[in-house]
Structure 1
Amino acid sequence: MASSSPIIFFLCFILCFSLSSQIILLPLTHSISKTQFNTTHHLLKSISTRSSTRFHHQHHSHNHNKNQIYLPLSPGSDYTLSFNLGSNPSQLITLYMDTGSDLVWFPCSPFECILCEGKPQTTKPANITKAHSVSCQSPACSASHSTMSSSDLCAISRCPLDFIETSDCSSFSCPPFYYAYGDGSFVANLYRHTLSLSSLHLHNFTFGCAHTALAEPTGVAGFGRGILSLPAQLATLSPSLGNRFSYCLVSHSFDGDRVRRPSPLILGHYESTGESVEFVYTSMLSNPKHPYFYCVGLAGISVGKRTVPAPDNLKRVDGKGNGGMVVDSGTTFTMLPDSFYNSVVTEFDNRVGRVHKRASEIEAKTGIGPCYYLNGLSQIPVLKLHFVGNNSDVVLPRKNYFYEFMDGGDGVRKKGKVGCMMLMNGGDETELDGGPGATLGNYQQQGFEVVYDLEKQRVGFAKRQCALLWDSLNGDKN
């Protein structure tokens, strides 16, 4: 086992660092652009399918072997962040930032990916040596194997019985573990190395190194509520940096020019200068089955002046892990259970459908809806999310739930404007057993600073101009 003196030295360094610089500011880059798709229909269909796949995979983990961990991630989670691994020479690693999973992992050399043709690979496989492997006795090893005991893991690693009995297996590595996704999987080993975020260096950072993967060429920076997540590991060294993080997603609406602006990811707490910002907070709910989720309660959604109450299971999480709404950076579109979704759509269509004709063929092509042909000025009702708690209402800007684009001009139909509601049907409630009742996607989070306050166990939302927030925070640091 490593001696404790370097850790104590580093802890002092981190604390000293955090006093002089309260936050770590990192740019999030949007990974989706129109250049990857030949039509807007194709783009929307791809994203709606991926949002649905990810949501439904959140409910199937209870069917699997307890020694395997099944993450609720479907590849291509929209926003990426970069950091450096090691010191000489350092390797730039670019991963999807994901609040719905709790492990940092990436491909390592040699790396073989089966059925990965045409899938984006954001980072080159890293070079890691055995010297950085994690012991089978480590709590991190147990966490990566779904809390298997270290004795079992050391036995799997062929540590002799007398060594296991005397807790002397530190030289035996943590055995490989298996993760499965909605449409991909990988096998990885645990390693420790220096991870550099901006000017901060995290020694002994634990991560997964995958040498083989199925349909999953890109790694993930897990920001969920688990001991292996990036914020959790940061919090053990510097609580002020790790116990609170926020991001502010630049409104993109799939516009290539907007996508190029960085979205700020802020680790730690900062005092807002200039504009006064009011956060709306709602409490985090604990989920015994999926402890890494950021679950909150949703009480209802207003369409115009009419409030559609949410079913009871969206307001709380039961003992089996059912219910609640997951706030998720890795799902694009918000997913709602079938009956609730239909009630919201009926209310929306009662107002919009009176003025605009339904575009059902667009709905079939994109996987989202309802869609309408827009002629002249479009009167679209305001959507408001009512979270559980006092004064926990969030009014969505129109562009966060109604996407307008040009359709036609292809010789079949003349060119015209179409608009679609950007919430999705998550399916029948009876099929959502064993997981969240709904997901708040990142498309609905655009233009808000979303704060995850782990100390006070709450999630907050504040309307912001995210590009300006990046400029002001980046200016403060320079």
Structure 2
Amino acid sequence: MDGFLGLGRGALSIISQASNMYNNIFSYCLPSRIDYVGYLELGIPALGVKYTPMLTNPKMPSFYFLNLTAIFIWGERIDLSPTIFSSPGTILDSGTSITRLPPTTYFALRSIFRKKWSIYPMAPPIFNLDTCYNLTGFEEVLTPDISFVYEGEVIANLDILGTIFHATKYQWCLSIVGNSDDSQIVVIGSMQQRRFNIVYDLGNSQIGFGSNGCS
């Protein structure tokens, strides 16, 4: 029977209800495609991860907050206010597909991305993805290089399928969007978590990231 498995910090979560059984820790890896294999481990941390502090917001107690400190694209650090992420707060949410950044951050990222990909013809936007391209006939494509940096110099180099979404046969889109304004919560979605070992260590209030966790 299909259903949902609650892994949040709320009272109904299996992690909360069986904290003694699972030692307040779980880890997972989201595969790059639906026909590939990932994993979910309860009570066991993945190896080879680097940890950043797990933060709490009393107004949203069931969510996992963390401190996103910087974003790099093709080795260039986006120049931003030091509080652009911390002021509204940043959550890691596997239930949201696409990462949502403050608009000032997104526009800066998009500008660099569009400049690098100006050699390819643009395609119409789809849904809320406004940076799309028609890559038909191109045998080689410049691979996007985007990294998220979390407190403690924890660097998450995004998988190509965490940066580009193949929307239709002729539409390949940047899979990151902007919020309506800079005051909205920053969300790191499931597409930008793909292939990482991600550990939620509630007992020690930390979140771990490790590369190449699954295919």
Distance 1:283 1:343 in 2: 27
In structure 1, give the amino acid aligned to 2:151. Answer: V
Mapping 1:188-207, distance limit 5 Å: none
* Aligned-residue offset at 1:373: 1.9
Which one of 24, 49, 72 corresponds to residue 243 of structure 1?
Answer: 24
In structure 2, give the amino acid aligned to 1:229. Answer: S
Distance 1:296 1:327 in 2: 7
CA contact (8 A) 2:25 2:44 kept: yes
Who is 1:325 aligned against?
Answer: 90
In structure 2, give the amino acid aligned to 1:348. Answer: F
CA contact (8 A) 1:285 1:316 kept: no
Provide the aligned C-alpha RMSD in A. Answer: 2.1
Distance 1:379 1:427 in 2: 29
How many equivalent residue pairs? 213
Who is 1:300 aligned against?
Answer: 70
Who is 1:81 aligned against?
Answer: none
* Aligned-residue offset at 1:263: 2.9
SS in structure 1 of the partner of residue 148 of structure 2 = strand
* Aligned-residue offset at 1:310: 4.7
Distance 1:291 1:305 in 2: 35
Distance 2:80 2:193 in 1: 19
TM-score (norm 1): 0.42
CA contact (8 A) 1:383 1:396 kept: yes
Task: Indicate the percent of aligned positions where both proteins have the same amino acid.
Answer: 28
Which structure is higher in helix share?
Answer: 1
Structure 1 spans left out of the alignment, 5+ residues: 1-91, 97-220, 253-258, 318-322, 408-416, 468-478
SS in structure 2 of the partner of residue 246 of structure 1 = strand
Higher RCO structure (Cα 8 Å, ≥6 apart): 2
Greater Cα radius of gyration, structure 1 or 2: 1
Mapping 1:40-439, distance limit 5 Å: 92=1, 94-96=2-4, 221-235=5-19, 237-238=20-21, 241-252=22-33, 259-269=34-44, 277-316=47-86, 323-353=88-118, 355-359=119-123, 361=124, 363=125, 365-374=126-135, 375-376=137-138, 377-389=140-152, 391-404=153-166, 407=169, 417-430=170-183, 432=184, 436=185, 438-439=186-187
Distance 2:56 2:127 in 1: 35
SS in structure 2 of the partner of residue 331 of structure 1 = coil
Who is 2:212 aligned against?
Answer: 464
SS in structure 2 of the partner of residue 95 of structure 1 = coil
Distance 1:421 1:329 in 2: 19
CA contact (8 A) 1:296 1:315 kept: no
In structure 2, give the amino acid aligned to 1:427. Answer: S
TM-score (norm 2): 0.89
SS in structure 2 of the partner of residue 385 of structure 1 = strand
CA contact (8 A) 1:314 1:325 kept: no
* Aligned-residue offset at 1:267: 0.3
CA contact (8 A) 1:315 1:388 kept: no
CA distance 1:265–1:341, change in 2 (3 Å) = same
